[in-house]
Amino acid sequence: MSISADDETLQIFLDESKEHLDGIENDLLAIESAGENVDEDLVNKVFRAIHSVKGGAGFFAFNKIKDLAHAMENLLGLIRKRELAATSEIISLLLKNADTLNLLLNNVENQDSTDISNSLTALKNALTGNLPQEKKQSVEKMLDVKLPDGRTIFQVSEFEIEEAKRAENGGDNVFLLTFDLIKDIQRKDKTPYHIISELIQLTAFVESKLDLEAVGMLDSFSENITIPFYILLTTNMEAGLIEDFVEIENSQISIITIGSGKEAKAAGPGPKASQPELTPPLTADTASTPEPVQTSEPEPAPVEKNNSGEEADLPTSPSGAVHTESSIRVNVKVIDQLMTLAGELVLARNQLVQNVASGSLNDVEKVSQRLDIVTTEVQDAIMSTRMQSIGIVFGKFHRIVRDLARNLGKKIDLILEGEDVDLDKTIIEAIGDPMTHLVRNAADHGLERPQERREAGKSETGTLRLTAAHKAGQVVIEIADNGAGIDPIKLRDKALAMGIYTAAQLDEMNDQALTRLIFHPGLSTAAEVTDVSGRGVGMDVVLSNLSKLGGVVDVDSVKGRGTTVRITLPLTLAIIPSLLVSEQGEQFAIPQINLVEMVRIAARDFKNKVEMIGDAAVMRLRGELLPLVRVRDVLNMKIPNYNDSAAENLSKTEDEDKHETGRQAAGCCETVDNAVNIAVVAAGDFHYGLVVESLLDSAEIVVKPLGNHLRECRTYAGATILGDGHVALILDVVGIGQKIRSTGMETVGKEREAKRITDMVDKENEQSLLLVGNGPGEQFAVPLGLVERIEKIHPSRIENMGDRRAMQYRGGTLPLLALEDNLNLLTKEETETYYVIVFRIRDREAGLIVSRIHDIMDVSATVDEVTYQQPGIFGSLIINETTTLLLDLHSIAAQNMAEYTHDETEALVADTCNAEKGMQTVLVVEDSKFFLKQIQGFVEEAGYKSLTAIDGQDALEVLEAHQDLVDLVLTDIEMPKMDGFGLTERIRSDPRFKDLPVIAVTSVMGEEAEERGRKAGIDEYMIKLDREQILDRCEHFLTQGRQAAY
Amino acid sequence: MNEIKREGDRAVLKPGEDIVSAMAEKILKSELQELLSQEIKELEIDMSTVGMIDSIGLGVLIATHNTLSKSGGKLKVSHVSEEIYDLFKTMSLDRHFDVQAAE
């Protein structure tokens, strides 16, 4: 039998069968876990799937597939009727045979080489062993469906007929349908397979046969030939319906009656000549029936675990791998959309051709817009035909994990999330293997045996969680287990023993870097390579395979807690959004997927922001140090007559002054417009800055692979052709990142770590300030948190009434304050416009007139509270080498209008609305006087009473003294004597205060700190000094109480 | 005219025209009958000159196949035009005897 690829019918059958089989693995597992509570729908679904495979296979004369499917179907029938429990042995048997079916379907041409006799025996034993005695016989009892001429066309077991009668869509009517291959099928533009497919939907199909024998021999040949095609089925439909359905006449349907001696009846009114009958074979025929299975053997649970040598018979298919499909199913809507778009495209082309021919260039512009739109839509539509949900890959893992758990004697819960995330087909196909490897790894090396888990104080069942999610145009897949985690020390020892790194190098690595060593070829923490994972394919292969897909792999592991492998993948490979940059007249593309942000530094700021650490340039970006490299250095672009010695310095600066080098670095990076363009890119968790000459544009580029000779090049990821026909190389951000890292940038990383820690401490006192000017040369700062608005006004708007100033503002009068009125300061500069800083005092607004607004800055507020001490001034600090006075707006207001604030205080007591609020007291704990004042300020503004304490110890004393008064505690974390954690712990342990809401206001961030805070009993963790937010939370806790947070 | 080549128990028959009704039944059938009576084990029908085949023609081919099968022989139909090849496929006849499309 020869099968060619162009055989459409066969291809349809194979595709459909694979589709059917795809789902049943998980369904079988679900049936197994349902145990006693048989979900009939589910069993039916599996039954139907196998049944369809059987039907098709029978027609194509794939007898092995048919027999196997048939035997499986029988077992499933029993499960459905609850005559057979879906034990894990039975399910294993079915799973294994489903694999075999898959294998056979994937290789229909060479079926003969596969021996399924053992599988069949096992299935049959399982069937007969679980059947009641009387039914056992029906399995053996073969019935012949005979034609009037005495020829037997079908041989089916009584059991099979009985099963088919009770099957879904089945019924008591047993029909034999006779088609004429020429008249009923070929001339009606059908194929036998289509007829079978149709009938399977409606009836319980038993068997089909193309009866060439009926044509007879050459010598008995007559002109009136028919080539009959028979189908045997059971149904609850009447013959008439079937006739209509498959378009045959009633003479072509025969009713089969079972039992010897009984006459078969034809369905139609006129009895037809060719009346088949279904009789048990005569004794003489028995020899021709297949060797009966020995039912005498008493086998209660006939499926043995180590069933003969079956494993050896069949090459076990790698069930985790998603095999490459040659065809794909596409929603008709998408096809329709594509058709419409194709039409649009043709129209646009016509327009373009016409316009170009007539030379009307104005219209060309319009057409190009149109083309642009249509092309984008076509691209989207075509992409969507290739998108498939990752569930296809995830689904396989139910089975894999189940089998692994059984083999390894572990208990594993598999949790899948985000199965509906769509990915490009090529990626879906390619991630199967790496993911299988990772899952195997997690199950084998990650999760511990039940006993070990119990000893470690964990539940016996380990959890393996696979998640997929969209994140910023990428797909993030996580494989997380809560197992033993990776021991960085072990890896370190192994790496040392294998001589991959020197001890000194290893000492420099932090735990995360050590953990990443598992991606190194040949490294594994497993004491020995087991059968399950580590079959030659190591993590290094996983890494390189995923990198080929443009993916990034990260590992997070906490010893004893588990391991998470995070894979970040692009949605598609063919077209990627990119940033185009240029260097030395050449254009390069940086994939958007790697791009974090773009920074442009003006030349004058360069020395502040760029420093040299070792011989590497780094930039300060929001408190982080970012290694910088110039594209031209990475690519070794030689610049003719390049005489800027600074460039040399960038690479070989020694112990020079940092600022000096910084400036030199600036010099070399400067472009014509005196600014430096930096593309901040990410290679995994490693961020660095690429200094480029100019940033051009963002564009969607079509990736063309580099030639073979450049395959190993780690600097370029590919090439693309730009709109103007030029070729642009795509920079391999990950590759360049590795290059940088290997050339001593690690030190930067370490410095960065150290810097982060100091920054964290610094941030504790960091504050956003609004810098303003009033008199010449004087600079003042106002905490930004207090500023409501800034209004730009003309001096004429200020109304002077006696010694008071005010302006009309939003339908009311806004009292205005001037700095020189009360403070001993220079007079305001005469300018054309003034600025009014509107702030809130209690529940009224007031404005402060200043002459200039300088800047807003985050300042580490080391406030000198002595030198310039006077009412209205908190103190002084130095910002940008200028002494700046920090204004105390509240005290200025109080000074200027004593009665104003006085009124307010009275109003507070008198105002009934605020009465309740007024009763509530907030204890503010803060060691910095400056912050203390601010927080106290806005707490009081909001209408609460306040008490203050300068550290935890002090706070406890205050609490003790006013134990009934305090309703809420706002505390800093970092404080002398007793910190915020300690304070909260003490509060919680005291029965009097345990229900007191505690809000931490701090800038010590990080999950660890938050976690610690939560443990101590802090109700809310406020990261920044955000007045609105703090007040909001205060209000929340004061009205709802502590429990409200939960 | 039908061309017949013999070589031991193998034979190649090349019909001279389309295998339709009269021609099929009378000439081809009798020639085949005669050929098969001479203990042929492998018969190849070379269809390179055949552009059409009808139900009777098909019947003749199937009958030939049946006759050959009975005596343990094999039928091969070669150089089948695209149209006829599709027909064989549709009717799944290619699963019963060897059908080879024309190059």
Q: Which residue of B has its CA nearest to A182?
A: B55
pLDDT of A271 above 60: no
| Burial call A40-78: b when 16+ CB within 10 Å, e when fewer | eebbbbbbbbbbbbbbbbbbbebebbbbbbbbbbbbbbb
Q: Are A626 and A680 in contact (CB under 8 A)?
A: yes
Distance CA A892, CA A823 (A): 9
Residue B69 in contact with residue B97, Cβ under 8 Å?
no
Specify the pLDDT at position A261. 37
Contacts 24+ apart (CB under 8 A), A607-611: A607/A659, A607/A662, A607/A663, A607/A666, A608/A662, A610/A662, A610/A665, A610/A666, A610/A669, A611/A658, A611/A661, A611/A662
Give the C-alpha distances (Å, rounded to integers) separating A271 from A147, A172, A253, A268, A284: 14, 20, 11, 6, 29
CB contact under 8 A, A221 and B63: yes
Q: What phi, psi does A304 have (nearest 5°)?
A: -90, 150
Inter-CA distances, A88 with A29, A30, A40, B64, Å: 9, 11, 18, 52
**Partner residue opposite B66 with nearest CB, options A9, A193, A213:** A213
- Distant-in-sequence, close-in-space partners of A1031: CB < 8 Å, separation ≥ 6: A938, A939, A942
ipTM: 0.82
Provide the 3-class DSSP secondary structure of residue A152: strand
pLDDT at residue A624, as a whole number: 72
Compute φ and ψ for B100, nearest 5 degrees.
-125, 125
Instruction: Assess A2–B contact: CB distance below 8 Å, yes or no.
Output: yes
Interval A63-93: pLDDT, tens: 888 888 888 888 888 887 777 777 888 888 8
Q: What distance, in Å, lies between the first and last C-alpha atoms of chain A?
A: 71
Q: Does B67 touch chain A (CB under 8 A)?
A: yes
Rounded CA separation A769/A930 (Å): 13
> A182 and chain B: CB distance < 8 Å anywhere?
yes
Residue A744 zone, left/alpha/beta (φ > 0; ψ -120 to 50; rest): left
Contact A794, A806 (CB under 8 A): no
Q: What is the pLDDT of residue A383?
A: 78
CA dist., res. A876 & res. A862, Å (int): 9
> Which of B25, B95, B100 is facing A60, going by the closest CB pair?
B95
| Calpha distance A194→A992 (Å, rounded) | 81
Within 8 A of B98 by CB-CB distance, chain A residues are 2
Give the side-chain half-sphere CA count within 13 A for A239.
20
- pLDDT single digits (tens) A233-263: 888 888 777 887 777 887 788 887 765 433 3
Please give, rounded to a whole number of angstroms, the shortest distance from the CA of A179 to a CA of chain B: 12
Alpha helix segments (H runs only) across A116-216: 117-129, 133-140, 158-166, 192-202
Section A510-525 average pLDDT? 71
Given a cut of 80, whether residue A747 has pLDDT beyond it is no
Q: Is A328 on the interface with B (CB under 8 A)?
A: no
Rounded to an integer, what distance in angstroms lies between the CA atom of residue A935 and that of residue A926? 9
Is the Cβ of A212 closer than 8 Å to some Cβ of chain B?
Answer: yes
User: What strand order describes the sheet that includes B10-14?
Assistant: B3-7, B10-14, B42-46, B74-80, B98-101
B94–chain A Cβ distance below 8 A for any pair: yes
In 3-state terms, what secondary structure has residue A322?
A: coil
For residue A343, give the DSSP letter: H
Tell me the average pLDDT of chain A. Answer: 74
CA angle A331, A333, A336 (to 5 degrees): 120
CA gap A769, A288 in Å, rounded = 99
Q: Is the dihedral of CA A795, A796, A797, A803 positive or negative?
A: positive
Tell me which DSSP letter residue A1010 carries. H
Does A537 have pLDDT greater than 60?
no
Q: Count other Cβ atoms within 10 Å, centred on residue A276.
A: 25
Question: Any chain A CB within 8 A of the CB of B96?
Answer: yes
Q: Under a CB-based contact definition with an 8 Å cutoff, are residues A956 and A986 in contact?
A: yes
How far is Cα A290 from Cα A117, in angstroms, rounded to an integer?
13
Q: Which residue has the tokens 């260039």?
A: A361
SS3 A1026: coil
User: In this predicted structure, what is the pLDDT of residue A2?
Assistant: 43
Structure tokens at B32: 């085949």
Work out the angle at residue B50's Cα, subtended by the Cα atoms of residues B48 and B55, and round it to the nearest 5 degrees.
140
Among A115-129, A307-321, A352-366, A674-688, name the one with the lowest average pLDDT.
A307-321
Q: Between chains, do A218 and B63 touch, taking CB under 8 Å as contact? A: yes
Give A930 or A813, the one with higher predicted confidence: A813
Q: Nearest C-alpha of chain A: how many angstroms from B70?
A: 9
Question: Which tokens in the block code for residue A481?
Answer: 């287990």
Query: Residue A862 has what pLDDT?
Result: 67
pLDDT at residue A764 tops 70: no
Closest CB from A192, A219, A225 relative to B92 = A192
Task: Give A-chain residues touching B25 at CB under 8 angstroms.
Answer: 221, 223
Determine the Cα–Cα distance for residues A578 and A473; give it in Å rounded to an integer. 12
B residues 1..20 contacting A (CB < 8 A): none
A763: left (phi over 0), alpha (psi -120 to 50) or beta: alpha
* Cβ–Cβ under 8 Å, residues B59 and B92: no
Confidence of residue A684 (pLDDT cuts 50, 70, 90): low
Task: With cut-offs at 50, 70 and 90, classify the pLDDT of residue A667.
Answer: very low
Which pLDDT band, with edges at 50, 70 and 90, does A816 fall under?
A: confident
Residue A31 — very low, low, confident or very high, per pLDDT cuts 50/70/90? confident
Q: Which residues contact A445 (CB under 8 A, 6 or more apart)?
A: A483, A484, A524, A525, A526, A533
In which residue are the tokens 């909260």 written?
A984
Tell me the one-letter amino acid at A291. E
Question: What band does A752 get if pLDDT is binned at 50, 70 and 90?
Answer: low
Chain A residues in contact with B55 by the CB 8 A cut-off are 182, 225
CA angle A387–A391–A392, rounded 5-degree value:
75
Sequence-distant (6+) residues with CB within 8 A of A780 are A771, A772, A773, A774, A819, A850, A884, A885, A886, A887
How far apart CA B24 and CA B45 sit, in angstroms, is: 13
pLDDT at A530: 47
d(CA A81, CA A955): 73
The first and second tokens of residue A310, run together, are: 């079956």
pLDDT of amino acid A294: 37
| Closest-CA residue to A70 (of A88, A89, A47) | A47
Residues of chain B above pLDDT 70, percent: 95
Q: Which residues in A lie closer than 8 A to residue B99 (C-beta atoms)?
A: 2
- Note whether A166 and A73 are within 8 A (CB): no
Q: Name, in order, each residue with C-beta under 8 angstroms of A647's C-beta and a sequence gap of 6 or more.
A: A668
What are the CA-CA distances from residue A974 to residues A761, A977, A980 (Å)? 9, 10, 7
What does the pLDDT average to over A1035-1046?
67
- Burial group, residue A617, by CB count within 10 angstroms (0-12, 13-18, 19+): buried
As given in the structure block, the two tokens for residue A519 are 């991606």
Judged against a pLDDT cut of 70, whether residue A278 lies above it is answered with no
The answer, for A12 touching chain B at a CB cutoff of 8 Å, is no
Average pLDDT over residues A991-1008: 76
What is the reported pLDDT for A904? Answer: 41
Distance CA A358, CA A945 (A): 82
Q: How far apart are CA A513 and CA A505, in angstroms?
A: 11
Query: What end-to-end distance do the CA atoms of chain B give, in Å?
Result: 23
A220: nearest CA in chain B? B63
Please tell me what DSSP assigns to residue A46.
Answer: H
Residue B98 has pLDDT above 70, yes or no: yes
The DSSP symbol for B19 reads B
The length of chain B in residues reads 103
Q: How confident is the model at residue A860 (pLDDT cuts 50, 70, 90)?
A: low
For chain A, give the percent of residues with pLDDT over 90. Answer: 1
What strand order describes the sheet that includes A575-583?
A694-702, A575-583, A586-591, A727-731, A716-721
Read off φ and ψ for residue A727, nearest 5 degrees.
-95, 135
Beta-carbon contacts of A810 under 8 Å, excluding residues fewer than 6 positions away, are: none
Nearest-Cα distance to chain A for B9, in Å, is: 19
